[in-house]
Amino acid sequence: MDALVESLHTGLNNDPIVRSAMAHLNLVMIHPFRDGNGRMARALATSVLTRSDIGEPGFSSIEEWLGVKTEDYYSVLAHTGNGSWQPRDDAHLWLTFNLRAHHMQAQTVARRVREADLTWTELDQIVSDRELPDRVIDAMFDAVLGYRVRRATYLKRADITEQTATRDLAVLASEGILNAHGNGRGRYYTAGEPLRQIQKRRRARRTPLRDPYPSMRAKLSELIA
């Protein structure tokens, strides 16, 4: 642990993503805690990037990407670390895996922003055409993303009264923009047909992410096998 702490204060001229990846790897392999070593290592990796002025969560953390590629993540760790801290072993595959993860995560964020911009424009058009209050766009956007819309959440986000929230959601349901489910406190709303059409257009416009290391998928499959 002393060696790890010292490494966090040296080599500051090296690329921050490389320093972040190595901090992650070293803490996992030293394994100082009874439980939670992986979570702490990922938090440490994010901290290294944040201290290097890469503070936006969508870029400083690859937690989301690793959550999708969990099997690959554990395979690379196992291959690189061989079950213990070996600071002189080759970490090339681990570094490449992290660079790829950051690249793919950045592409995911960029695509999400583009889709949100287009979706917001379409929702704004629905609000204008049907002469709805602008505040309902938040609820409609959540529904497009596939979330359940609840009155309690909507009234807090829109900063409105319970009566106004109830009326807004009732209007959206009567217009077919939202579909109501359940009764009383358990009532929630999902995307109606106009919003489902927006969902379909989002999926149709979506382009695949570009893999910066296309050969890695074969390498990871080989490791897993």
d(CA 148, CA 145): 9
Task: Say what the alpha-carbon torsion angle 38, 39, 45, 51 is, to the nearest 10 degrees.
Answer: -150
Domain shared by 98 and 16, yes or no: yes
Mean pLDDT in runs of 10 for the chain (225 residues)? Answer: 91 90 95 93 94 82 91 91 87 94 93 94 97 96 96 94 95 97 92 97 93 86 74
Domain shared by 105 and 115, yes or no: no
- In contact, 63 and 42? CB cutoff 8 Å: yes
Q: Which residues contact 136 (CB under 8 A, 6 or more apart)?
A: 127, 158, 168, 171, 172
Domain shared by 70 and 151, yes or no: no
Domain shared by 153 and 166, yes or no: yes
| CATH code, domain carrying 130 | 1.10.10.10
Domain shared by 7 and 103, yes or no: yes
Domain shared by 132 and 82, yes or no: no
Domain shared by 75 and 147, yes or no: no
pTM of the model: 0.81
Q: Which residues contact 193 (CB under 8 A, 6 or more apart)?
A: 176
144 burial (CB, 10 Å; 0-12 / 13-18 / 19+) is buried
Domain shared by 83 and 28, yes or no: yes
Q: Which domain holds residue 91?
A: 2-109+213-224
The pair of structure tokens assigned to 217 is: 């998928």
- Tell me how many domains the chain contains: 2
| CATH code, domain carrying 70 | 1.10.3290.10
User: What pLDDT does residue 105 have?
Assistant: 93
- 108-115 long-range contacts, Cβ below 8 Å, gap at least 24? 108/64, 108/65, 108/209, 109/58, 109/59, 111/206, 111/207, 111/209, 115/202, 115/205, 115/206
d(CA 108, CA 40): 24
User: What pLDDT does residue 83 have?
Assistant: 83
